[in-house]
Structure 1
Amino acid sequence: MTEPRMRLRQHGRQFPTTDLEAYLIAFGDAVPPLPTTIAVLDEIITDFIIESCHEAAAAAQHSRRAKIKVDDFKFMLRRDAAKLGRISELIAKDKEMKAQRKAFSTEEGAVV
């Protein structure tokens, strides 16, 4: 049995500092947040995203698919009710927005 290969993570910040500062301030951190706090938050978020994608890819591979689907992320989060609920809300909102866009035709500014 072969060991899974670990992908190297890019070094440095992945997210804009201003966005991370805004999140920290919104959740009650000092103004301005410490640079080390921003760096740690960036690393935590990046690692979470990478690990989530790896788990979703493993779920897709188990289903004998090469491509990851939204259901693979739902499967990965099945034991975390809060995150699964949030994902479900976002998916429902996306469908609602697509339906509203479809109902409003931008051709000639007419509503269908």
Structure 2
Amino acid sequence: MSYYQKNRDAILQKRKSYYENNKEKILARESGYYKNEDGKKRKTINAWKRMGLVADDYEALYDLRKNAEKCWICEKAFQPDDKRCLDHDHETGKFRQILCYSCNVRDNWKNKVSK
């Protein structure tokens, strides 16, 4: 049995106590982190992994999405504040293309893939 397993309750209680005593400092540090570029990148990549997206290199995929110039389906150029979506196969989790939000919520990609 590992140290953690033997002392799990005490460790969890110590962590909880530390968090309660330092909550403001911890929250301030975390909120600042997720506002900078590296924090946004980590948060986005973790969300992709949680939703089942499968990729060989998540960092490269993040950069690809960030630098995409146009939607793969409608070919409309992205504006700086446009939402860029990762189209992926929901069965396998494999990434397909970068889409605008409008195309992502429609089934138009099926027509383009079958061409």
Q: TM-score, normalised by structure 1?
A: 0.25
In terms of fraction of residues, the more strand-rich structure is 2
Determine which structure has greater relative contact order: mean sequence separation of CA pairs < 8 Å that are 6+ residues apart, divided by chain length: 2
TM-score, with normalisation over the residues of structure 2? 0.24
